[in-house]
Amino acid sequence: MPSDSKDKRIGVFICHCGKNIAGGVDIEALLQSIRETPGVKFVAENRYSCSEDGQIDIQNAIQDQELDRVIIAACAPSLHLMTFQRCGESAGIEPSFVDLIDIRKWTMHGNPEKVDPDEALERSKKLIKQAVKRMSLKRVIPQVVVKTEPSVLVIGGGVAGLEAALDLADKGYEVNLVERLPTIGGKMALLYKVFPTNDCAPCILAPKTAYANIHPGINLLTYSEVTAVEGYIGNFSVKVTRKPRYINEDSCTGCGLCVEKCPQKVIDSVYSAGIGERKAIYIPYDLAIPKKAVIDDENCLYMKTGACRLCEDECPTDAIDFDQESRTIELKAGAIIVATGFDEYNPTEKTEYGYDRYDNVITQYQLARILDIDGPTKGKLLRPSDGKEPQNIAMIQCVGSRDENTNEYCSSICCMYALKHAQIIREMVLPDTEIYICYIDMRTAGKNFEAYYRRTRELGINFIRGRPGEIIEETDTKNLIMKVEDPDLGRLLNLEVEMVVLSCATLPSEGTEQLSGILGTALDENGFYQEVHPKLRPVETNVRGIYICGAAQGPKDIPDSIVQAKAAASCVDGELRKGEIKLPEFIVKTTGPDKEG
């Protein structure tokens, strides 16, 4: 085993990575320079260090040269550090004495950090020399074995969080599912139908929400937020604040009598996207889980003025409790899964589309609520300005997406939901209404998605490969006029329609930044949770034991969210199933319950 002796034997391995590194830096010059670096006992190059042959070469060198520390200069640690630590461990080297440093980012074509070969050589030399110095100063990091909690905290009760929770509960873990809203089901519950199969969202989701509600392994904590997290993998301690519903959940039967009596109407910006109203006491929707009433304390007459309490008189089970207060509970968790989903971009700042000025410009999420037969309009599609059925509708894609002024990324789901809404309108709501979809690229890359696009064309929907410059409202008719270039025709189209639907970007859900601060997890440049590696470790975060899935990691559809949820659940199970885990001692000492300052 490696010792702490002064005579450290450091070996450096420089990887060609095919031509990714060798094509962008003078390997000979780099080898020469490292060979002359004080403290380096051995230098070698590999064509592919991570391959089986490459690893055997490293292990042989460790034996032959009696190396006790190795540095591999290749790709990012997030990609292969664990690979090389395993490789070193089999040859008798402590994992903390194996280091992987990334010199490939400066040489690989397509990498935004690529520099010219001279610069790459200088930077690589410098980085390797720093690593050698660091390695020579390193001491053994003592490892300890600690017990792990067989429980998991899932944050977010949408389809991704539910799937992860159910998977883990079925595996035998105790799951606490925390949801900020009064009901689980997330955005999906409000989408009416879901592509590419067009089954109604409740058909797919309701069995999951219902099962989660009765599953003995799942504890639902709705209308609650995570406010503090401490600890480390296997031993997180979590504070959850439960907002007051002012309803005794155990007594409430969800009969809805209180809602009928309540005199206070409020625009419902959450469950009907501002299209419909609810009362100050409300049950979010018919299939809500849990189906319990909740009092909105900002709008309740009694809370505001001290008079009313009609709901209290009406409730047959005396479930109303105006004295409830917010309370904080503490939970243990072996691991945490973050599934906090997304919010729709508010297109007001795209002033050219007049979302806040024109009555008949709405968003796709609003349209989804309108088309829902259980939604605020019971599935009737009428113009907001005059309540008439629109004879023609234009949909504008990529509003706030693929746009350097707002969000540069592709929101990935908008093409498909626009197609879905066009299909629903044509087949089930207003068959004679002409629909124009103005798009930049039609991205239908998922399984069976191309057939879905073809089917939409079959229905006679008009596709225009252009983005309208701006929308002008005709003052008398409230119709919307826009110019859009049709490159297939090579001419400008002057499009006048009775309604416009904006396919808005997918944003990280509100509160993501705050929660990531509590969790200590990194966010990417667009504000979504940052995975360790986009291909190899897509659901792990920089904090071991905290995993991400669904749209919290980046815009994605339901099939992909489910896949990630299952992946995250599998990661959790992989870490917790032994009941104990080996960790560096300093982590246990500095972040655990018995931490030393």
Partner 1 sequence: MKPDDIPEDMPEDIPEDMPENISGDDSEETVQVPNLDPAFKYEVMRNEGAGGLKYCFACGACTASCPIHEIDHGFDPRKLARMVQLGMKDEVLSSPLIWYCSACRNCEQHCPQSVEFFNILNVLKNMAAEKGYAPYAWVVQTRHLMRTGMVFRTDEAWETRRKALSLPPLQLDGEKVRELIELSGLDELIVKKRP
Q: Which residue ranges make up the site for partner 1 (CB under 8 A)?
A: 392, 434, 436, 442, 454, 457-460, 462-463, 465, 483, 486, 488-496
Nearest residue (CB) to partner 1, 92 versus 460: 460
CB 545 within 8 A of CB 153: no
Q: Rounded distance, CA 124 to CA 118, Å? A: 10
Question: What residues does 491 pair with on adjacent strands?
Answer: 486
Closest contact distance (angstroms) between CB of 441 and partner 1 is: 11
SS (H, E, C) 362-423: EEHHHHHHHHCCCCCCCCCCCCCCCCCCCCEEEEEEEECCCCCCCCCCCCCCHHHHHHHHHH
Is residue 101 within a helix (H) or strand (E), and if so which, with residue range?
strand 98-102
Closest contact distance (angstroms) between CB of 194 and partner 1 is: 24
Nearest residue (CB) to partner 1, 203 versus 489: 489
Nearest residue (CB) to partner 1, 306 versus 490: 490
Closest contact distance (angstroms) between CB of 84 and partner 1 is: 46
Do the strands 193-194 and 199-200 form a parallel or antiparallel pair, or are they unpaired? antiparallel
Nearest residue (CB) to partner 1, 484 versus 551: 484
Closest contact distance (angstroms) between CB of 459 and partner 1 is: 8
Residue with tokens 């409020």: 266
Q: Rounded distance, CA 395 to CA 464, Å? A: 10
Q: Rounded distance, CA 307 to CA 401, Å? A: 47
Closest contact distance (angstroms) between CB of 394 and partner 1 is: 10
Closest contact distance (angstroms) between CB of 495 and partner 1 is: 5
Nearest residue (CB) to partner 1, 296 versus 473: 473
Nearest residue (CB) to partner 1, 121 versus 499: 499
Closest contact distance (angstroms) between CB of 497 and partner 1 is: 8
State the virtual CA torsion across 587, 590, 592, 596 in degrees, nearest 10: 140
Closest contact distance (angstroms) between CB of 490 and partner 1 is: 7
Nearest residue (CB) to partner 1, 459 versus 563: 459
Closest contact distance (angstroms) between CB of 494 and partner 1 is: 5
Rg of the chain in Å (alpha carbons): 29
Nearest residue (CB) to partner 1, 295 versus 442: 442
What are φ and ψ of residue 483, in 5° steps? Answer: -105, 135
Nearest residue (CB) to partner 1, 339 versus 501: 501
- With H, G, I as helix, E, B as strand and everything else as coil, classify residue 137: helix
Is residue 120 within a helix (H) or strand (E), and if so which, with residue range?
helix 117-137
Q: Concatenate the DSSP letters of all residues of 178-222 into one string.
A: E-SSSSBSTTGGGSSEETTTTEEHHHHHHHHHHHHHH-TTEEEE-
Question: What residues does 506 pair with on adjacent strands?
Answer: 344
Nearest residue (CB) to partner 1, 373 versus 492: 492
Closest contact distance (angstroms) between CB of 464 and partner 1 is: 8
Helices (H), 521-577: 558-576
CB 202 within 8 A of CB 429: no
Cα 27 to chain centroid distance, Å, stands at 40
